[in-house]
Chains A and B, each alone.
Chain A
């Protein structure tokens, strides 16, 4: 069982929400059961209720984060250090800084593995495309490799392998950007490098669904 939260209350979360469709589609193709807390549904009461009832093995959390919390719709806190019901599960947090402290706290409380970012998770967007995120090829350079983390785990890979596949895709994109004549190439490259360097695995790197 997979649980995904994907609030869409502003431009940034709307991008994460739209690109998460690929993850949902992987679940459907592979007949993996999933709970999709999209938009307003990404709220604490529903989140806690689904976790208690279904004990998902893998959770993908999109949204605003800090060193000690990850949010849902309108940044309502969904996960913080006080919740310990994730025993042996895997969390991928596509949010800022949550791997700096929260990831370790959750793993010490029994979570199997946590993948996230030690610093701000940054994505560059094209203003011309921001009404239709899936047509934004600049954002795609960042978000497709991050989707690979979730997709690899859903396909049965270990957390370590999922992290490696995602970083390999980011490096491939970085290489292509640097050897291209695209506009703002140095800007895009700087942030791809930043995301590669801040993506980490905490806990059991051999964990799988």
Chain B
């Protein structure tokens, strides 16, 4: 389940990470729609459902990176 309102610190962290990415990447969500880097940033700024999910995905990744679960997974 995605979060209801994005935590301010998490929002800033994820926005900063995405701003650092190249403009080449687009995100396709489930055969529904694809989002450019700018559209992703706008969705996070506006805290849409997609924006919330992107923050959720990025924060889960960072947690798994920090607590070592990611490296356990890849062996």
Contacts and interface: CB of A to CB of B under 8 A. Distances in A.
B34 A125 contact: yes
A63 B22 contact: no
Contacts of A63: 31
Interface in A42-100: 62-65, 75, 94-97
Interface string B1-33: 000000000000000011001111111111111
Contact of A191 (B33, B57, B74): B57
A6 B33 CA distance: 15
Main SS class of interface, B: mixed
User: On chain B, which size bracket covers the interface?
Assistant: 20 to 34
User: On chain A, which size bracket covers the interface?
Assistant: 35 or more
A8 B65 CA distance: 36
A3 interface: no
Contacts of A120: 29-30, 53
B46 interface: no
A30 B27 CA distance: 34
A181 to B, nearest CB: 13
Contact of A183 (B22, B60, B74, B75): B22
B27 A125 contact: yes
Given A63-B31, A120-B30, A120-B53, A190 B58 contact: yes
B17 A186 contact: yes
A174 B21 contact: no
B57 A127 contact: no
B61 A124 contact: no
A94 B31 contact: yes
B27 A127 contact: no
A11 B34 contact: yes
Interface of A: 7, 10-13, 15-16, 62-65, 75, 94-97, 117, 119-128, 130, 138-139, 171, 174-175, 178, 183-184, 186-191, 193-194, 196-197
Interface of B: 17-18, 21-34, 36, 53, 57-58, 60-61, 64, 70, 73-75
